[in-house]
Amino acid sequence: MANGDDTQRALAAAARLAQAYLASLPERPVFPPATVEELRAALGGALPTGPRDAALVIEELAAAADPGIVTTASGCYFGFVIGGAVPAAVGADWLATAWDQNAGLYVCGPAASVVEEVCRDWLLELLGLPRHASFAIVTGCQMAHFTCLAAARHRVLSDVGWDVAEDGLAGSPPIRVVTGELRHITVDRALRYLGIGRRAIRTVPCDRLGRVDPAALRRELASGSGPTIVVAQAGEVNTGSFDDLVAVGEAAREAGAWLHVDGAFGLWAATSPRLAPLLAGHELAHSWATDAHKWLNVPYDSGLAFCADVEAHRAALSVTAAYLVQDAGSRRDQVDWTPEFSRRARGFAVYAAIRSLGRDGIRDLIEGCCDRATELGAGLAALPGAELLNDVVLNQVLVRFADDAATARVLAAVQASGEVWLSGTTWQGRPAIRVSVSNWRTTADDVRRTVAAFATATG
Ligand SMILES: *Cc1c(COP(=O)(O)O)cnc(C)c1O
């Protein structure tokens, strides 16, 4: 059968090219050389008029795209907060594509549905969350915020007698959101999607390490009333610092507010007995958002939403009857928990990552990244003119050099070296360099190579 052969040859070509790519990690420049013009020239052209052999399309795509592929799989990529991908998750993700399930409804993919139930139970245990909490696998933490905050909006309004599903937001009692000044921008964006604009957000100052000031938060909560959502952060993107979730949780409870936690990467501290104290109090929250594609090292895209208020979660997102609560004995239709209708079977890769690493392997992955970050912080701090700006409590390192011009020069030189890659930021009004260690591949040798690249750039 010609079509079957085409599929076999396309998959064989993809497997060969993917393996060659991963084998080339140590030699590839960590940031690719191509300019946007070169990529447009290589990939662009007129709309194809006729068919082309599938395997050939794969070969040509790989050749044209290769100079524009960022080597995020490398142990020397430290930009933003970008995880790698563990082998079992990569394999499972390929299978998910071949199986091509529509994981919105049980009837469209029974195994995909059950795998997500299993992921829910495993993740609730791993992350120290209430065992009854509801769960959704979405595209990323952005949509996990959206999912959780939709549940929050439903609950805080229904508490004052307003049914947002029935009556919408126009004319509803106003919702206020109280959160730290260093929250992630995706929080504001999720709120905007939900009809909660910037003016509804009351911003509370943070300390030198990026943690919200709990006394100021308490004062802000006391200064108003009505439906209230508090958004706390576990893992600030520059410093990796954690809000004091005990103090924030108590303040939110006293104010009768919904507490949502942005733990895009920081929630994974729960998997390590050594790091878990950073998260103390996180069980006081009503919802939690995190990523699988960052620190669990699952391929993009994969975010996780958890909600202790199962009924609010279902009421906010269900496409069937909003007043029904989950029947524990029933089959899971993911559409009742996610913003999407048709969706990719993301659970397979999450399942495979957890199954392959196990509890101990996940702890080692998380602790290993934090240990490498500590070594990197020490190595960088010893360089001439370097100033370490954070306490390295997790996997983030923040550094600057003698002055702003030196910081910019060092960052540009290190990025251009091809040896390593990391990104810049602005911290307390001045340029800084951030290092995020989020990849299972990063070794102590990679740390030495990174410090050496910095030493060359500062020398
Ligand atoms: C990355 C990140 C997000 C957004 O996550 P996506 O997966 O990119 O949608 C939100 N909050 C924090 C703290 C993050 O680091």
User: Per residue in 215-255, pLDDT tens?
Assistant: 999 999 999 999 999 999 999 999 999 999 999 999 999 99
Q: Whole-number mean pLDDT of the chain? A: 96
Average pLDDT for 195-199: 97
- pLDDT given for residue 326 in this prediction: 44
Q: What is the CA radius of gyration of the chain?
A: 23
Quick check: CB of 81 below 6 Å from ligand 1? yes
Which tokens is 446 given? 């990679």
- 61 vs 54: CA distance, rounded Å: 11
Residue pair 78/450 in contact (Cβ under 8 Å)? The answer is: yes
Q: What is the pLDDT of residues 146-155, one digit of tens each?
A: 999 999 999 9
Which atom of ligand 1 has the smallest separation from the CA of 236?
Answer: 13
Q: What is the CATH number of domain 92-352?
A: 3.40.640.10
Quick check: CB of 268 below 6 Å from ligand 1? no
- 139 vs 339: CA distance, rounded Å: 10
Q: 33 pLDDT band (50/70/90 cuts)?
A: confident
Cβ-based neighbour number of residue 304 at 10 Å? 29
**Is it the case that residue 321 has pLDDT exceeding 70?**
no
Query: What's the pTM value of the predicted model, to 2 decimals?
Result: 0.96
- pLDDT given for residue 3 in this prediction: 62
Give the burial class of 114: count Cβ atoms within 10 A of its Cβ; 0-12 exposed, 13-18 middle, 19 or more buried.
Answer: middle
- Distance (Å) from CA 269 to ligand 1 centroid: 16
By most ligand atoms within 8 Å of CB, the mutation choice from 265, 291, 304 for ligand 1 is 291
Strand arrangement, sheet containing 134-138: 134-138, 303-307, 287-291, 258-262, 228-233, 176-180, 201-204
Residue pair 443/376 in contact (Cβ under 8 Å)? The answer is: no
> Percent of the chain beyond pLDDT 90?
96
- Residue 437 corresponds to which amino acid? V
What is the β-pairing status of strands 423-427 and 387-388?
A: unpaired
- What phi, psi does 303 have (nearest 5°)? -120, 160
Residue nearest to atom 2 of ligand 1 (CA): 264
Strand arrangement, sheet containing 430-436: 387-388, 396-400, 430-436, 423-427
- 196 vs 419: CA distance, rounded Å: 44
Contact residues for 61 (Cβ-Cβ < 8 A; gap 6+): none
Residue nearest to atom 1 of ligand 1 (CA): 264
- 137 vs 334: CA distance, rounded Å: 9
Side-chain-side CA neighbours of 374 within 13 Å: the count stands at 8
What is the β-pairing status of strands 423-427 and 430-436?
A: antiparallel
Quick check: CB of 260 below 6 Å from ligand 1? no
Q: 335 pLDDT band (50/70/90 cuts)?
A: very high
Average pLDDT for 404-409: 97
Q: What is the pLDDT of residues 3-14, one digit of tens each?
A: 679 999 999 999
Average pLDDT for 363-388: 98
Q: What's the farthest any 2 CA atoms get from each other in the chain?
A: 72
Q: 47 pLDDT band (50/70/90 cuts)?
A: very high
Task: Select from 134, 72, 116, 71 the least CA-distant residue to 352.
Answer: 116
- Distance (Å) from CA 141 to ligand 1 centroid: 5
Q: 324 pLDDT band (50/70/90 cuts)?
A: very low
Residue 163 preceded by cis peptide, ω within 30: no
Q: 329 pLDDT band (50/70/90 cuts)?
A: low
**Is it the case that residue 325 has pLDDT exceeding 70?**
no
Cβ-based neighbour number of residue 176 at 10 Å? 21
**Is it the case that residue 1 has pLDDT exceeding 80?**
no
Q: What is the pLDDT of residues 52-69, one digit of tens each?
A: 999 999 999 999 999 999
**Is it the case that residue 158 has pLDDT exceeding 60?**
yes
- pLDDT given for residue 459 in this prediction: 85
- Distance (Å) from CA 435 to ligand 1 centroid: 16
- Distance (Å) from CA 294 to ligand 1 centroid: 9
- pLDDT given for residue 220 in this prediction: 98
Where are the domains positioned within the chain? 4-71, 92-352
Quick check: CB of 140 below 6 Å from ligand 1? yes
Q: What is the pLDDT of residues 278-316, one digit of tens each?
A: 999 999 999 999 999 999 999 999 999 999 999 999 999
- pLDDT given for residue 328 in this prediction: 47
Average pLDDT for 78-91: 97
Q: 2 pLDDT band (50/70/90 cuts)?
A: low
